[in-house]
Amino acid sequence: MDTNSAARIIISICNPVRGGSPGYTPYHVLEALKIIASKPIGRIQLSNLLGIGEASSKTLSYRLKSHNLVEPTRTGIKLTSKGLEVLEAITSSIIADNVNIPIEGWEESIMIQVTGLNPPKDLVEVYRIRDYIVREGCIEVVIGGYIGGSLKYPGMPEHIEKIFNNSIPKEILREQTLNIVTPIKCREQAISGIIKLLSRE
């Protein structure tokens, strides 16, 4: 399954029904698939692990079943082959690493590399990508890519860009790949925004 199709499935699981938005995000759907992939699990346990209400967990489980991503067993729900395809497509495209940026508020950050999407060439592209993440509630985000042996963030002051280059280990960077850095507190919003971005690319 390609990444766009997998992302579209996750987004459809989060769509409002009869005017009400579910109490979970694309991030929760992805995390649920990861949890269920490790072992069959019940709704209450899934609710606790995801940090969402039991009613939201019930809705999420129902929608995962209706999209044929999970199936019931005696010990809980487990992933179907389609569920595994969706999980593998997204996790192979979204690669997250914890990084330490020596700037106040950014000491504990996450760098997300999105394979298959090129780095932005200019500020117009930066803002287009940034909008997906900001709409999820995260305003502290930098967007760029690893190009020609160094990190490039269009619009970022040179001295700040140098701090990012000196702080992020080169061995984890992928050439010509979209690179997003945000404080760890914004992990959920950033990943939800990226899944929405992937669903439209």
pLDDT at 198: 95
User: For the residues of the chain, what is the DSSP string, one character each?
Assistant: --HHHHHHHHHHHHS-BTTB--S--HHHHHHHHHHHHHS-B-HHHHHHHHT--HHHHHHHHHHHHHTTSEEEETTEEEE-HHHHHHHHHHHTTEEEEEE--SSTT-SSEEEEEETTSPPPSSHHHHHHHHHHHHTTT----EEEEEETTEEE-TT--HHHHHHHHHHS-GGG--BT-EEEEEEGGGHHHHHHHHHHHHHH-
CATH H-level, domain 93-200: superfamily: GAD-like domain (3.30.1360.30)
pLDDT at 116: 87
Average pLDDT over residues 181-193: 95
How high does pLDDT run on average in the chain? Answer: 92
Q: Where are the domains of the chain?
A: 3-89, 93-200
Q: How far apart are CA 46 and CA 146, in angstroms?
A: 37
- Name the CATH topology of 3-89: Arc Repressor Mutant, subunit A (1.10.10)
pLDDT digit string, tens, across residues 105-140 = 999 999 999 998 999 999 999 999 999 999 999 999
Q: Is the pLDDT of residue 201 over 90?
A: no
pLDDT at 19: 67
CB of 109 within 8 A of CB of 149? no
**pTM for this one?**
0.92
Q: Minimal CA–CA distance to 103: which of 178, 37, 181, 180?
A: 181
Q: How far apart are CA 196 and CA 133, in angstroms?
A: 9
Q: Which of 11-20, 22-31, 123-132, 189-198 has the lowest mean pLDDT?
A: 11-20
106 phi/psi in degrees, rounded to 5: -115, 10
pLDDT digit string, tens, across residues 154-182 = 999 999 999 999 999 999 998 889 999 99
